[in-house]
Amino acid sequence: MSLNIEDYYKPLTVIVGPADEGKPVRTVLERRLGVSRKLQSRIKLTEHGIALNGKRVYTSDIVHEGDELTIRMEKETSDDILPEPIPLSIVYEDDDLLIVNKPAGIVVHPTHGHYTGTLANGVVHHWLMKGERVRFRPVHRLDEDTSGLVAIAKTPYIHQQLSEQLQANGVMKLYRAYVYGHPPEVEGTVDAPIDRNPDAPHIRIVTPEGYPSVTHYETGAVFGGGSAASVSLKLETGRTHQIRVHMRHIGCPLIGDGMYGPDNGGRAEWEAAAGRQALHAETLGLTHPITKQWMEWKAGLPPELIRLESVLGSNTEE
């Protein structure tokens, strides 16, 4: 089926410079725009996908200084995700990127048993109401009961670029957690490999055979003579349940964490105040793939964690 220009997202254009003289299109797209070979393979299949001076070309064609090389990506929709009018806390949005402050208790993407009521359902509805044709592409995810900032790419190119930033540790993700006890040092690093528990595959454990996993922490307020603390955390890797597993590993399980919490169940009043694992994705920073500018967002604590901090607040030691 032939597509019209309006069936594509806004184009990306590069003017060929002297350093690219005589190079094939694929090399210029990779070098100048960072377009992966996999994405190029998708783009070149459409009529207006790759153009040189306004004419369709192949990735093997040669460019010359002064040529205008343009790529366009076909608009897509998430036809498998049911739009639902779910309230969203949108922190930032432009043509390329959406940043949402996700509340606890909501899954990011539909999965088995969670086909509706997810963040994806709400975002797809939001775009439908705006008249935008966009596919839901989360750059990273948060656990159902973790609140905070989630980045969602609006085009395949943005998703590819931010995924590469994430893999290169170029995306800043800072979390706030409330834990039992307090870390052994004011600042420190947990470098402990994580993998599935062979006896319970939905649970992660620290094991020498696991995948490299690194979490940096800084202790904030200490409560109740050291019985609890707030901790700021920065992820160097992004394993499933990483913060929860690492905090338990150093003897500081998260308050309200039903899976990795203390073996005795913890203190009832703290657990009730939190109502879920006390973990919040507080700060998110990244380089915008189009403007190349560093951008940073912060999401304040949700009401349940403010309530927990208030309950913990008596007998506070800084």
User: Is position 257 annotated as part of the catalytic site?
Assistant: no
Instruction: Give start and end residues of each alpha helix (H) in the chain.
Output: 25-28, 37-43, 119-130, 156-167, 242-249, 268-274, 303-312
Instruction: Please pick, among 67, 143, 145, 257, the residue that the annotation labels catalytic.
Output: 143
Question: Residue 115 to residues 107, 121, 122: CA-CA distances in angstroms?
Answer: 10, 9, 12
For the chain, list the strands marked E by DSSP. Answer: 12-15, 50-52, 55-56, 68-71, 90-93, 97-102, 137-138, 147-153, 172-180, 187-191, 194-197, 200-206, 214-223, 228-235, 279-287, 294-298, 316-317
CB 228 within 8 A of CB 305: no
How are beta strands 172-180 and 55-56 bridged, if at all? unpaired
Q: How many Cα atoms are found within 13 Å in the side-chain-facing hemisphere of 53?
A: 8
Per-residue buried b or exposed e for 248-287, using 16+ beta carbons within 10 Å of the residue's own CB: bbbebbbbbbebbbbeeebbeebbebbbbbbbbbbbbebe
**Residue 79: CB partners within 8 Å, gap ≥ 6?**
none
Q: Which residues form the catalytic set?
A: 143
